[in-house]
């Protein structure tokens, strides 16, 4: 029975400008009505699951546009099945998966494999992002047309920058034919060479080679100039610096087709976490200074940064439980993001509606995927959030196969109660 | 607790843990007054005994002034053993010390080995070329396997910063950091401070100039923490490319011109310049470095007459220091090496005696 009645929930649907306490009726998996004090007949009530939503939020199914599912190739870290289970447990009804798998998602066959696997095993929508260059080598373009045809929603060499400026120009130009989004992992490899953490007083103290802000800023500036030149749609992944925020803000003012995302660790943590030498805090771009964190929050508040994505990057103990210098970069994020987004609401950086837009309609609009709003008449995809509950994040309870969560043990507030994907319960906490 | 002759009783009576300041650049206890208690071989602060009661010696940054004082005092008293005809005491008899060296080292490893043997400990050396490290075993696995043989102390050197710190959390044996990446080299800083105290009679109030490649130097970092904690003024001098960002926050004065700072120095610590810095685009040439920052006899004329010249070794003669200065009357480079053995005896002694006091009360 897929008939639900959610009573007196706070319905937040930023795409349609809704933020009110209302009842939500779902019949046969389809969203029938959103109204305060919905009246339904007694004959109906018997066939409807009623949920008391007092104090809870009902939002469109969340979308994470930056996830590493690791399949194919590194199934010991994560699979499409486990990664999407983690997603729905974190409130996400859709994920965009990055192409740095083994083999790289640089051909239609790999894209099709991911989608086929997702059809069989995934707990939520999976939107493959294909590579810009063959094998992420930064030399030849992949076949954007075929990749788009097979279901890729964007292209990126994420994990590596496109160092060759001409190739990046061509990518932005060529992507326009197929209306593909080009996602930039902005990092100047020469400036970042050998770097293990943010360059600054903490890296000096710890004797760890630093990555300067300029390594990110310089590439963000370059890619904005190329987007301006070509008219290609550019999206800056994982913004971590004050400089990037400033550059994107200025570019948007000039009307350059650029959008940007950041991740919870960049608006929550700083490089002082590294004082423990714990490789769980090793990530690329690195955790930055408190000033950068503040700028990222300002960027979120004024709309410069459109999206909060997790950059969920699972690694096993093999990659993480080792010398800091040799450890892999990356953190998991799907199951810890929501309470951290709510932290931004609690400390007044974002209002509830703005915060929800950054994990629902903004990413879906940028990726051009049919999610992000509560459409009456359509199969319902929504997330129910209890914003008040206090608890301690415990990564041992996560659905993800990996445990590299920097927020393990953190006191947080707010969690996912229910995730509906296309009318079906994909996750229910109880 | 009474001090017996020929045997130093460890001081592990229960005292409250000293709170660490949360700001890593500040030490709130820096200005506390400690009095040395000769009877009990420890320091008292507000009437309480402050003994050395650590499991590991990982860095100078976490040491309090009274702990540094304690180690140096102990090192001075142990130094005499090294001048005896029979240079051995039974203090650590039956203790096992494992030298786990993931980076080439002659001086430090030999110094630790000599120190351990003079205290009658059994020592074993494992270096990157002779062990399973080359077969792909992880550092942690190596440590766990060695730990299963029940050693008392690991002396660890590793090219990756922070490795001894992480390993120390995973073993019940004591860990002494013998140099980790560009992070810390605590025993070197301690022997440097011992040498300064030996020649100058004090550390407090002195101006110490650290000259050269500050960015890549663990010796510089450990000395900056130690010397400033002991009340010296630390000046670092080198080319802009070799002075790391934000070093001022460690409490030092920065200069890029040796001429400006040499006259005020009571001690000049010259650092080794590694030739690979040229490939990293940090310097145009060794020649220019020697011209601008090399310590030679002519430069030394503008320094104080009683300035001490130090170098952690190994020396690049003619690059960062000229032969006549390295071998000259102001050089205490070989005294540093001599004191190195004494300081390491003190460290091994303090950590090796740890368990004999029984459970903390």
Cis amide bond preceding B314, omega within 30: yes
Sequence-separated (6 or more) residues with CB below 8 Å from residue A50: A4, A5, A7
Contact A207 B165 (CB under 8 A): no
Kindly state the average pLDDT of the residues B220-239: 98
Per DSSP (E only), the strands in A76-120 are 92-97
pLDDT band at B132 (very low <50, low <70, confident <90, very high): low
Instruction: Output the pLDDT for position A236.
Output: 98
Contact A326/B at CB under 8 A: yes
Contact B24 A205 (CB under 8 A): yes
- The catalytic residues of A are 311
Give A195's contacts in chain B (Cβ within 8 Å).
none
Q: What is the 3-state secondary structure (H, E, C) of chain B?
A: CCCECCECCCCCCCCCCCCCCCCCCCCHHHHCCCEEECCCCEEEECCEEECCCCCCECCCCCCCHHHHHHHHHHHHHHHHHHHCCCCCCCCCCCCEEEEEECCCCCHHHHHHHHHHHHCCCEEEEEECCCCHHHHCCCHHHHHHHHHCCCCCEEEEEECCCCHHHHHHCCCCCEEEEEEECCCECHHHHHHHHHHHHHHHCCCCCCEEEEECCCCCCHHHHHHHHHHHHCCCEEEEECCHHHCCCCHHHHCCEEECCHHHHCCCCCEEEECCCCHHHCCCCCCCCHHHHHHHHCECHHHHCCCCCCCEEECCCCCCECCCECHHHHCCCCECHHHHHHHHHHHHHHHHHHHHCHHHHCCCC
Please tell me the number of Cα atoms within 13 Å of B174 on its side-chain side.
21
Residue B278 has pLDDT above 70, yes or no: yes
| Element containing residue A21 per DSSP (H, E) | strand A18-27
User: Taking the domains of chain A in order of start, what are their residue ranges?
Assistant: 4-58+377-428, 60-367
Q: Which among A250, A253, A272 has a CA at the least distance from the CA of A200?
A: A272
pTM: 0.90
CB count in 10 Å sphere of residue B122: 15
Instruction: Output the pLDDT for position A159.
Output: 95
Q: What percent of chain A has pLDDT over 90?
A: 95
Contact B249 A201 (CB under 8 A): yes
pLDDT band at B29 (very low <50, low <70, confident <90, very high): very low
pLDDT tens digits for range A157-209: 999 999 999 999 999 999 999 999 999 999 999 999 999 999 999 999 999 99
Contact B229/A at CB under 8 A: no
Contact A391/B at CB under 8 A: no
Nearest to A322 among B138, B184, B247 (CB): B138
CA gap B173, B152 in Å, rounded:
5
Burial of B106 (0-12, 13-18, 19+ CB in 10 A): exposed
Contact A325/B at CB under 8 A: yes
| Element containing residue A338 per DSSP (H, E) | helix A337-346
Contact A323 B165 (CB under 8 A): no
pLDDT tens digits for range A235-283: 999 999 999 999 999 999 999 999 999 999 999 999 999 999 999 999 9
Mutate to test the interface with B, among A205, A272, A318 (most CBs of B within 10 A): A205
- Helix residue ranges, H only, A183-336: 189-192, 201-206, 213-230, 242-254, 264-268, 290-301, 317-320
Contact A205 B184 (CB under 8 A): no
What is the biggest distance separating any 2 CA atoms in chain A, rounded to whole angstroms? 71
Contact A207 B221 (CB under 8 A): yes
pLDDT tens digits for range A382-422: 999 999 999 999 999 999 999 999 999 999 999 999 999 99
CA gap A11, A370 in Å, rounded:
19
Give B238's contacts in chain A (Cβ within 8 Å).
none
Nearest to B163 among A204, A321, A323 (CB): A323
Contact B162 A323 (CB under 8 A): yes
Instruction: Output the pLDDT for position B20.
Output: 37
CATH number of A60-367: 3.20.20.140
CA gap A156, A141 in Å, rounded:
11
Sequence-separated (6 or more) residues with CB below 8 Å from residue A348: none
* ipTM field: 0.90
Contact A290/B at CB under 8 A: no
Instruction: Output the pLDDT for position B360.
Output: 44
**DSSP states of A149-199:** HHT--EEE-TTS----HHHHHHHHHHHGGGT-EEEE----HHHHTT--EE-
Residue A60 has pLDDT above 60, yes or no: yes
pLDDT tens digits for range A76-134: 999 999 999 999 999 999 999 999 999 999 999 999 999 999 999 999 999 999 999 99
CB count in 10 Å sphere of residue A30: 17
pLDDT band at B116 (very low <50, low <70, confident <90, very high): very high
CA gap A238, A245 in Å, rounded:
11
Contact A275/B at CB under 8 A: yes
Average pLDDT, chain B: 86
Instruction: Output the pLDDT for position A369.
Output: 97
* CATH architecture group of domain A4-58+377-428: Roll (2.30)
Kindly state the average pLDDT of the residues B108-129: 93
CA gap B306, B326 in Å, rounded:
15
> Residue A298 phi/psi, 5° resolution?
-65, -40
Average pLDDT, chain A: 96
Kindly state the average pLDDT of the residues B197-212: 97
């Amino acid at each position: 029975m897929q008939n639900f009645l959610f009573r007196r929930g706070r319905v937040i649907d930023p795409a349609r400008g809704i933020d009110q306490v209302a009842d939500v009726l779902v019949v046969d998996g389809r969203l029938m009505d959103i109204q305060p004090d919905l009246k339904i007949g007694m004959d109906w009530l018997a066939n409807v699951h009623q949920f008391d939503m007092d104090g809870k939020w009902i939002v469109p199914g969340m979308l994470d546009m930056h996830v590493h599912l690791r399949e194919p190739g590194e199934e010991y870290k994560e699979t499409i099945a486990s990664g999407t289970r983690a997603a729905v447990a974190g409130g996400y009804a859709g994920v965009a998966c990055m192409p740095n798998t083994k083999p790289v998602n640089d051909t239609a066959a790999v894209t099709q494999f991911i989608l086929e696997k997702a059809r069989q095993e995934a707990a939520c929508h999976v939107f493959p992002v294909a590579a810009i260059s063959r094998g992420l080598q930064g030399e030849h373009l992949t076949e954007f047309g075929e990749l788009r045809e097979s279901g890729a929603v964007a292209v990126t060499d994420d994990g590596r920058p496109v160092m060759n400026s001409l190739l990046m120009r061509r990518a932005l130009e060529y992507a326009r034919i197929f209306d593909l989004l080009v996602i930039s992992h902005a990092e100047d490899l020469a400036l970042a060479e050998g770097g293990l953490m943010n360059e600054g007083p903490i890296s000096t103290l710890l004797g760890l080679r630093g990555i300067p802000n300029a390594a990110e800023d310089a590439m963000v500036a370059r890619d904005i100039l190329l987007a301006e030149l070509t008219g290609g749609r550019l999206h800056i992944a994982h913004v971590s610096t004050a400089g990037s925020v400033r550059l994107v803000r200025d570019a948007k003012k000039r009307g350059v087709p650029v959008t940007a995302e950041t991740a919870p660790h960049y608006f929550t943590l700083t490089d002082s976490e590294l004082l423990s030498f714990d490789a769980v805090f090793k990530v690329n771009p690195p955790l930055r200074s408190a000033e950068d964190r503040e700028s990222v929050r300002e960027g979120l508040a004024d709309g410069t940064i459109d999206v909060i994505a997790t950059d969920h990057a699972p690694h096993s103990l093999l990659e993480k439980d080792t010398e800091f210098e040799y450890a892999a970069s990356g953190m998991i994020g799907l199951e810890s993001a929501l309470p951290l987004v709510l932290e931004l609401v609690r400390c007044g950086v974002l209002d509830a509606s703005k915060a929800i837009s950054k994990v629902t309609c903004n990413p879906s609009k940028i990726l051009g995927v049919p999610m992000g709003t509560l459409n009456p008449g359509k199969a319902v995809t929504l997330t129910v959030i209890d914003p008040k509950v206090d608890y301690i994040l415990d990564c041992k309870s996560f659905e993800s196969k990996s445990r590299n969560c920097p927020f393990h043990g953190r006191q947080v507030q707010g969690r996912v109660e229910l995730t509906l994907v296309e009318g079906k319960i994909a996750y229910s906490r109880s | 607790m009474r001090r017996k002759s020929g045997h130093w009783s460890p001081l592990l009576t229960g005292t409250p843990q000293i709170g660490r300041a949360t700001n890593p650049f500040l030490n709130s206890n820096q200005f506390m007054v400690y009095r040395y208690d000769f009877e009990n071989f420890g320091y008292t602060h507000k009437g309480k005994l402050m003994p050395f009661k650590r499991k590991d010696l990982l860095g100078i940054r976490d040491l309090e002034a009274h702990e540094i004082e304690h180690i140096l005092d102990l090192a001075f008293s142990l130094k005499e053993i090294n001048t005896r005809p029979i240079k051995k005491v039974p203090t650590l008899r039956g203790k096992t010390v494992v030298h786990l060296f993931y980076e080439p080292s002659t001086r430090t490893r030999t110094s630790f080995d000599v120190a351990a043997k003079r205290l009658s400990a059994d020592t074993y050396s494992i270096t990157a070329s002779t062990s399973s490290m080359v077969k792909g075993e992880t550092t942690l696995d190596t440590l766990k396997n060695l730990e299963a043989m029940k050693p008392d102390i690991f002396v660890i050197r590793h090219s990756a910063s922070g490795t001894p710190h992480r390993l120390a959390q995973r073993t019940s044996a004591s860990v002494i950091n013998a140099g980790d990446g560009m992070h810390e080299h605590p025993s070197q800083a301690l022997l440097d401070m011992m040498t300064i105290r030996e020649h100058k009679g004090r550390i407090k109030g002195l101006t110490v100039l650290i000259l050269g490649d500050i960015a890549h130097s663990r010796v510089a970092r450990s000395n900056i923490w130690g010397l400033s904690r002991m009340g010296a003024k630390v000046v670092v001098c080198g080319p802009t490319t070799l002075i790391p960002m934000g070093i001022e926050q460690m409490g030092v004065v920065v200069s890029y011109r040796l001429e400006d700072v040499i006259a005020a120095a009571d001690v000049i610590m010259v650092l080794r310049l590694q030739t690979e810095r040229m490939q990293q685009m940090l310097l145009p040439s060794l020649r220019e470095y020697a011209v601008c920052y090399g310590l030679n006899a002519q430069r030394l004329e503008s320094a104080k007459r009683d300035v001490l010249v130090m170098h952690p070794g190994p020396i690049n003669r003619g690059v960062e220091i000229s032969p006549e200065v390295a071998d000259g009357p102001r050089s205490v480079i070989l005294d540093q090496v001599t004191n190195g053995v004494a300081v390491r005896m003190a460290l091994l002694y303090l950590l090796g005696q740890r368990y004999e006091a029984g459970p903390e009360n």
